[in-house]
Amino acid sequence: MTGKRKRNSAEFKAKVALEALRGEQTVAQLAAKHGLHQTMINAWKKQAVEGMATVFSGKAQAADGARESEIDQIHARIGQLVVERDSLRRASGR
Is residue 5 very low, low, confident or very high in pLDDT (cuts 50, 70, 90)?
Answer: confident
* 50 and 19 inside one domain: yes
- 1 located within any domain: no
- 2 located within any domain: no
| Predicted TM-score (pTM) of this structure | 0.56
Distance of CA 41 to the CA centre of its chain: 18
Q: What is the pLDDT of residue 86?
A: 92
Contact predicate 45/13, CB 8 Å:
no
Domain housing 74: 58-94
- 17 located within any domain: yes
* 51 and 77 inside one domain: no
* 28 and 45 inside one domain: yes
- 48 located within any domain: yes
Q: Which H or E element spans position 75?
A: helix 59-92
* 74 and 88 inside one domain: yes
* 70 and 40 inside one domain: no
In angstroms, the Cα distances linking 30 to 16, 40, 42, 44, 47 are 8, 11, 11, 12, 17
Domain count, the chain: 2
